[in-house]
């Protein structure tokens, strides 16, 4: 297991308090963010100690663009600096607070929408992976994980955090306790997924394990590292022949995007008003607001243009055409 990130630069105690404060507000602050905070702390340690912890010069120096980096990478640094500054201000500690405005990415990223046929190939490929004597449960775990991602729309971190006490194999319900924004939600399982889950439960010998044991354990019984799982799943995608341009596999998070698009497409096919279904999908996926879910509506139109055509016909008379007088 990797060692947890320790903030060991300037103002370490304040940064630790800042992390606790943000997590209590519901922000996850995963390992990647902690590493960025440690980088910021070490950066500040390279300058003479002043009465003002964060000056405009220090903030701008840390947030300055690096050669070859993406705008989104710089924005992450900016966000950490601004949030830490706001935290200091809330404690009446003098500091410079960067303005809210910052650079926007010029190109909008469009996730890769995986089709049902492609996902079937990916799952089949996972099921056919060779048995590893030194990691005898790896094949079963990845086959189960892919089904959870595809059928339940989970975030990868949510799937890896599942413990036996979070899985009701009798009622067919998952309890997502360690979700983004500290939300808790229930995920019902389909009959086919529940049948597979029960067989997996038996194969893994969970009847004799403690409730706090991980549902998707690594070969030591601990929690998988998210990056390692992402890499392995992308290798399976490559073996299954699913790529974005013939060489690069989709991101693992694209499975979640694909789930949402597929769910909206099914609702449209069933005659459900998509805008009435969005709040339900928003709760199911654990979004903090419906705006996050509306993003998938745009993706649905991108992947299934026929849905857009049907919506335009259905709402053609809602907003009458405006004509200028001659």
What value does the mean pLDDT take over residues 246-260? 90
**Tokens read off for 175:** 């309890």
For residue 25, the SS3 value is coil
Which position has the higher pLDDT, 168 or 49? 168
**To the nearest 5 percent, what fractions of the chain are helix, strand and coil?**
55, 5, 40
Q: Which of 12-21, 124-133, 179-188 has the lowest mean pLDDT?
A: 179-188
Average pLDDT over residues 138-153: 96
Question: How far is the C-alpha of 190 from the C-alpha of 21, rounded, in Å?
Answer: 38
CA atoms within 13 A on the CB side of 41: 21
From first CA to last CA, the distance across the chain in angstroms is: 74
Predicted confidence band of residue 320 (pLDDT cuts 50, 70, 90):
low
- Count of H-run helices and E-run strands, the chain: 13, 3
pLDDT at 58: 93
Classify residue 52 by its DSSP letter.
S
What pLDDT digit, counting tens, does each position of 271-317 carry?
777 667 777 788 888 876 666 666 666 666 555 666 656 555 555 55
pLDDT digits (tens, 9 = 90+) for 53-110: 999 999 999 998 887 777 878 888 999 999 999 999 999 999 999 998 655 544 456 7
With CA atoms as reference, report the closest residue to 287 among 276, 279, 275, 299: 279
* pLDDT of amino acid 300: 64
Tell me what pLDDT residue 173 has. Answer: 95
pLDDT over 70 at 322, yes or no: no
220 versus 308: which is more confidently predicted?
Answer: 220
The CA-atom distances, in angstroms, between 223 and each of 18, 202, 296 are 26, 20, 30
Go through the chain and tell me how many residues it has: 326
Buried b (16+ CB within 10 A) or exposed e, 10-45: bbeebbeebbeebeeeeeebeeebbebbbbbbebbe
What's the rounded Cα separation, in Å, for the pair 83 and 101? 13
Best CA proximity match to 146, nearest among 156, 157, 135: 156
| pLDDT of 241 | 95
Q: How far apart are CA 89 and CA 15, in angstroms?
A: 14
Q: 164-204 pLDDT, tens per residue?
A: 999 999 999 999 986 665 678 899 999 999 999 999 999 99
Q: What is the pLDDT of residue 104?
A: 53
């Amino acid at each position: 297991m990797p060692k947890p990130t320790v903030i060991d630069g300037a103002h370490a105690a304040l940064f630790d308090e800042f992390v606790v404060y943000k997590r209590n507000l519901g922000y996850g602050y995963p390992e990647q963010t902690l590493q960025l905070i440690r980088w910021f702390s070490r950066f500040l340690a390279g300058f003479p100690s002043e009465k003002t912890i964060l000056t405009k010069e220090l903030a701008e120096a840390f947030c300055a663009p690096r050669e070859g980096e993406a705008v989104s990478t710089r924005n992450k640094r900016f966000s950490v600096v601004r949030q830490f500054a706001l935290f200091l201000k809330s404690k009446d500690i003098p500091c410079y607070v960067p303005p809210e405005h910052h650079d926007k990415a010029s190109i909008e990223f469009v996730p890769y929408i995986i089709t049902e046929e492609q996902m079937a190939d990916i799952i089949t490929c996972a099921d056919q992976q060779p048995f590893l004597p030194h990691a005898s449960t790896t094949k079963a775990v990845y086959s189960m994980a892919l089904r959870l991602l595809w059928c339940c729309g989970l975030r990868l971190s949510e799937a890896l955090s599942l413990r036996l006490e979070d899985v009701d194999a009798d009622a067919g319900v998952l309890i997502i306790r360690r979700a983004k924004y500290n939300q808790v939600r229930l995920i019902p399982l389909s009959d086919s997924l529940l049948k597979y889950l029960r067989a997996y439960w038996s194969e893994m010998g969970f009847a004799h394990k403690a409730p706090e044991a991980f549902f998707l354990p690594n070969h030591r019984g601990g929690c998988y590292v998210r990056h390692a799982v992402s890499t392995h799943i992308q290798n399976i995608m490559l073996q299954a022949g699913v790529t974005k341009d013939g060489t690069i596999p989709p991101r693992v998070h694209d499975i979640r995007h694909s789930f949402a698009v597929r769910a909206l497409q099914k609702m449209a096919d069933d005659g459900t008003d998509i805008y009435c279904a969005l709040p339900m999908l928003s709760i199911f996926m654990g979004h903090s607001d419906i705006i996050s879910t509306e993003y998938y509506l745009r993706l649905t139109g991108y992947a299934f243009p026929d849905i857009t055509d049907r919506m335009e016909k259905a709402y053609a008379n809602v907003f009458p055409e405006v004509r200028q007088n001659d």
